Structure formats: C-alpha cells, structure tokens
Structure 1
C-alpha cells in the first residue's frame, strides 16, 4: 500500500483499539483493507466509488473466495468508509446498498426410511437402552429438536391420548402426536424410570436431567450397535421426520406446524429433500430416465 492508504489504515486501527476490538479483529480489518487497496489500485481511499468496490468483489469471487468470506470483507470495507464519513473524509459510503453473493443453501441431511427403521428397530435390553429407545423413537415420531427433547418433563406426556406438549423456540408451545411405536417405548421406559426428585422425562443413571451432550453420545453408541453406516446426529431424526411426512402427505403447512417453524419459508427447504427423493425414484424406475449410450 502507498502512504495514503497506510496512513488511513493506521488511523482506523487506532479507532478500533479505542473501541477495544481484539487483535485478531484488527488484523482481519487490516487484511481486508489491504485487499481493497491492491485491487482498486487507487492512490487514495477517498477515490474509491461503488463501481470500484463492485469490481474488487468480483475479482475476489473469481479468485475462489467463499460467499461467507466475501461478506466479511465487504463488512470491513463498509465499516472503514463509515468511519471515514464520521471523520468527514468522504460524503457517502461506496459500499452502501451492496450485498455479497448469497451462500448456497445447505440441505439438511435426512435418513432414508429404511435406514431410520434399521436404526430404531434394533432390540433393546436394560434400563438405559429402554430409555434411549424411547428418546429416539419420540424424536423421530414427533420431530423434536434436541433441546426440546432434553427439556421434556414427565407431565408433558399424555400417553392415553398419545400427545406430547413441547416448548419450542421463543417459548412457543405446541401439542404433537406421538406415534404408536414411540408411545410403546415411552410406556416401557416410564415403568423402569423409577422415582427421582427431577421432573425430567429422560434422566441419567444418577437421576438427573439428561444433557444434550449425553443424548448425542448415546445416539452415536446406538447407531454403532445398529450397524448403520451413515453418521447420525440428533437433529437428523427431526429432519428425517419432516422429510418422510412430506413425502407421504405433501402437506407443507402441517409439517410447518409440527416442526414449530414461525415462517413457512424455513419449512420449504424440506421440499428440496422431497424432490431429491422423487428424482431418485424417477431415475430408477422410469424407462426413459436412463441415458442410452451414444452409438453415433
């Protein structure tokens, strides 16, 4: 960088120090601003306009930087120019209105129906395995989050009606159906749960509420016993619930209600999972789906 850019960066860094920003954060700002100086090739930061910023972002994207990295870099530039406005070095922020490219949406991983049955149908013996079986059956049966499962109390269950009351995000309560397999597993667990001062539905050997980490470890052990080759984390049972219900019913609104999503758009990601399933069925079954060899 030339003297003008270096002086501006030093002054900006002093402001970051006054704001008690960490050394790591200040180093990231310095690196990002160095990118801008090198890519724009302008003599002074005051000469940077919106077009120059857009071109710099395009070059970084061409170099293979991820959308997340580009978002961080653009934020650094925006903050620099915002500071320069306060210092009356420039009148407007050249980054105003610019947005980084959106990261591709990651689809949640779900088990196939067969893999789910393999996971849940393994035999269980003894108190801890009966508890684990009841937990995992309930998570898949009702689409529960990990935190929702560990926060359940015995009083939240109504097995006579096969219902469970769940307190989700934002303390929003919802009443969910409990499938027959889950209800049977829960009845067996309650018979051996024993008396404890903790109201928790799922308790440890010490009689205390099971933690999220303990549940995740038990699921991994359960997976290994079932010979399931696919890695399974607790949220996959919820994803599998949503995907399988949607495949069978196509009722997106019902799935939204059962999952406790405030926004339907959050639930719509499962339509992509459903399409992937349909695409596999089509490719395997339709006589015109498979490509024929090119004999030309």
Structure 2
C-alpha cells in the first residue's frame, strides 16, 4: 500500500465506481422515502459516505462486500491524522454504520464491518478550579437567614470533604458523625466511603442542624432540605450555588463540581499525595485522579524522585555516600 493510497486528503477527486455509487443512491432514496429525513440531513449523509467511498476505492475496494473492520479502522486513523476531531469521526462512523446496516437489510452484507470500531476519544476539558482566596470569598456568607446558613453548610461540606453533588443531596442525618469527625458517603456504583470533616464544615453543619427543624418534618431523614421541608434536589443546589457566586462577586460561574475540583487541587498541591487524594475523592482508578487534578508529569517525577529510595539521581547518592565517609 502506497502512501498516496492511504491519504484521505487526496481522495476528493477519486472517482467512485458504479458498483459502490448505486447503493449510495439507493440509500439516499431510502432515507427520504422511508425515514422521511430532511434534504439537508440526507445531503450530509451522502457527502460523508461519498468521501469514505473514495477512501475505500484508494484501498483497492470496488464493492461494499470487500470492506473489512481493518479498512474502517484505517479510515478512522487517517481521518484523525488529517485533523478531523473525534466528534466528527464519530459522526462519520455513525453514518457508515447506518449505511452498512441498510446493506444488510438488502441482503448485500451478512455483517456490519463498522460495528465495534470506535472513534478516538476526545480529550475531556478540565474544569477550572477556584484558588484559595476565591473559595474564601465564596464561603464568606455572613447573613443569618436560615437558608443562607443551610447554603453555607452545604458549600463548606462540599469543599471540606470533596463531595459530588449526588453525594451531598443523598446524605441523611445519620450519615454525619461529629464524634468521629467523618461523614459516610454513598458514591458512584453504590460504594460507601468515609470522608473526614473538621473546621468550618463542622461548625456550619452544627449551625444548620440548630435550625433545620424550622423546615424539616420530624420523620424527614435528609440532612439538607428545601424550604418545603423535603430532601433538597440537585437542581436546587446548583441554582443556589450559582446565585451565591454572583452575590459574592466572583467572576467565574460557580457550580458544585467546581468546589469538588478545587478541593482535590488544593489537597494535592498541599500534600503531593496522589494516592490519598484518590481515596478521598472515591476514584476507582488512580489515572482518573491524575487527570482530574491536572497533575503534570514534572510534579509526579519530582514526588517519585523524593519518595523512592532508588529513584534519586546517581550524583545525589554519590554525594550522600561521600558525605557519610567524611563523617
């Protein structure tokens, strides 16, 4: 296979043989007639399918029956190499799967070679965290309105324990142990973990519990309730936090995940203990924590060099050895 044969950037002028094109035309009629798709949608499908057909022709393919999963993987790889974004490649492969499924219904194929071929994963944008001063500015809620006290307690707990939004709203009264200084959380996958709490989080939880009875019925188990006395909803928490961000004159939009991310970042910057932060956040995999806290490799290497007894630079060990001999 020549380089030009795999270059999707040079396929626009490659002619599509009638053996391939006639099925593209029939698929277009099917989309208009039976699926009642708009002309714009059908044109998008056709444009993508024609581009892919030209690429397959460059591989020596002259009938749809010749396509194998490896050809589809090559298509995805070349698309990425030529700058197509993962989301666009997913759209491309989705169009191809739909077309090949149609050929199966027309008894032209026995299996769909595009099934199981996935597009490259898109890089997840990292959430922005607040710096310590911004967190202090947000949490400096000074009025004594009952709902303000509740909101500060929620925000102090989210930042103090690094809770997910669902974990916060799922807390019951029995979840908190002031004596042990911990809160029992039900995380993802129904996994329980204990999160230590202290300082401001404890102070404002106690402040909230003093007035909680003004809203909650005696048989309500939820730790945080709305003004109607029922367990507070996730949407309500998001709305209140966004409002507090504006009231406290913060320039960035405030949401629950931003507090959790700030907690993780500040804990990691202070301790350098990635494994401990993983446990505190309730992450199943260490790699998730590393991405979540945008920890760079240089920092990891520095921690490794300082912690591992055989990881220090040879010169440093020789220097230390010479120093011991001198002593």
Same fold (TM over 0.5): yes
Query: Which sections of structure 1, spanning at least 5 residues, go unmatched?
Result: 279-296
In the alignment, structure 1 residue 133 sits paired with structure 2 residue 155: no
Give SS of 1:272's match. Answer: coil
**Alignment match, 1:150:** 169
In the alignment, structure 1 residue 117 sits paired with structure 2 residue 132: no
Pair member with larger Rg: 2
Superposition pairs for residues 81-100 of structure 1, below 5 Å? 87=107, 89=109, 93=113, 100=119
Relative to structure 1, the CA distance from residue 59 to residue 174 in structure 2 (aligned partners, 3 Å threshold; closer, same or farther) is: closer
**Alignment match, 2:309:** none
Relative to structure 1, the CA distance from residue 34 to residue 158 in structure 2 (aligned partners, 3 Å threshold; closer, same or farther) is: same
Which of 1 and 2 has higher RCO (CA within 8 Å, sep 6+)?
1
Q: 2:239 aligned to 217, 221, 224, which one?
A: 217
Cα shift readout 1:225-246 (whole Å, capped 9, x = no counterpart)? 1111111111111100100000
**Alignment match, 2:88:** 69
Query: Which sections of structure 2, spanning at least 5 residues, go unmatched?
Result: 1-15, 301-327
In the alignment, structure 1 residue 268 sits paired with structure 2 residue 290: yes
**Alignment match, 2:272:** 250
Relative to structure 1, the CA distance from residue 51 to residue 275 in structure 2 (aligned partners, 3 Å threshold; closer, same or farther) is: closer
| Cα displacement (A) at 1:113 | 1.2
Moved more, 268-277 or 125-134: 268-277
Tell whether the 8 Å contact from 1:256 to 1:267 is kept in structure 2 after alignment: yes
In the alignment, structure 1 residue 8 sits paired with structure 2 residue 8: no
Q: TM-score by structure 2 length? A: 0.70
Q: TM-score by structure 1 length? A: 0.76
| Cα displacement (A) at 1:103 | 2.3
In the alignment, structure 1 residue 235 sits paired with structure 2 residue 257: yes
Superposition pairs for residues 21-100 of structure 1, below 5 Å? 23=37, 27=42, 30=46, 32-40=48-56, 44-46=63-65, 54=74, 58=78, 62=82, 64-77=83-96, 80=99, 87=107, 89=109, 93=113, 100=119
Give SS of 2:125's match. Answer: coil
| Cα displacement (A) at 1:14 | 9.6
Relative to structure 1, the CA distance from residue 254 to residue 13 in structure 2 (aligned partners, 3 Å threshold; closer, same or farther) is: farther
